[in-house]
Structure 1
């Protein structure tokens, strides 16, 4: 994670707010990317998020807006990737998904 506490907190803040509002619908919330690897170099920090939601949930737009808000508050750019549970389960071995779980921090 970045040495800048503002940036380090951004992922925690997003995860906390997302869980407060949509916790029952979130199966997985994993944060990964430059900031979590520690190679953000304090320039254009990117925080990538993989969200796996219950299949019948329609909150993708709201979660992306939340990420944008938290990003503005903390000076980072969030990239939110949302998968319904059935697509996640069918593609768990995909390199993108494996990398997210191997390199990232799972909140849920």
Structure 2
């Protein structure tokens, strides 16, 4: 990764690409983790993504995970993508993972 490509840009790049390719299927795209927070300490940067899809779609999930992998490689970060259908998120809104992502993450959609 070059100094001209901040790690925080990886999240914005991934969000823009995901919306361009899959926007109609995405209900929420929330990014969190140490890199977007600026808390990577120069050791290991990770970007966690909670992607909420309108409908379950395993093929779309695979394409979004591949997109995250490519974007991470370009920016020198590791993406961890958690893809869930909207009904599962709504049914588990009190789950600590979902609650933390939605409360502390940056929403792109």
TM over 0.5: yes
How many equivalent pairs are there? 106
- SS at the partner of 1:6? coil
- SS at the partner of 1:79? strand
Q: Does 1:38 align with 2:44?
A: no
Q: Deviations over 1:27-69 (max 9, x none)?
A: 0000001112221101210000000001243400000000000
- Which portions of structure 1, spanning 4 or more consecutive aligned residues, are displaced by more than 6 angstroms? none
Distance 1:88 1:20, change over 3 A: same
Q: Does 1:54 align with 2:54?
A: yes
TM-score with structure 2 setting the length: 0.91
Structure 2 residues without counterparts, runs of 5 or longer: none
Residue 11 of structure 1: aligned partner: 11
Residue 84 of structure 1: aligned partner: 85
TM-score with structure 1 setting the length: 0.91
Tell me, in whole angstroms, the C-alpha distance in 1 between the residues paired with 2:94 and 2:20: 29
Residue 72 of structure 1: aligned partner: 73
Tell me, in whole angstroms, the C-alpha distance in 2 between the residues paired with 1:93 and 1:24: 26
Structure 1 residues without counterparts, runs of 5 or longer: none
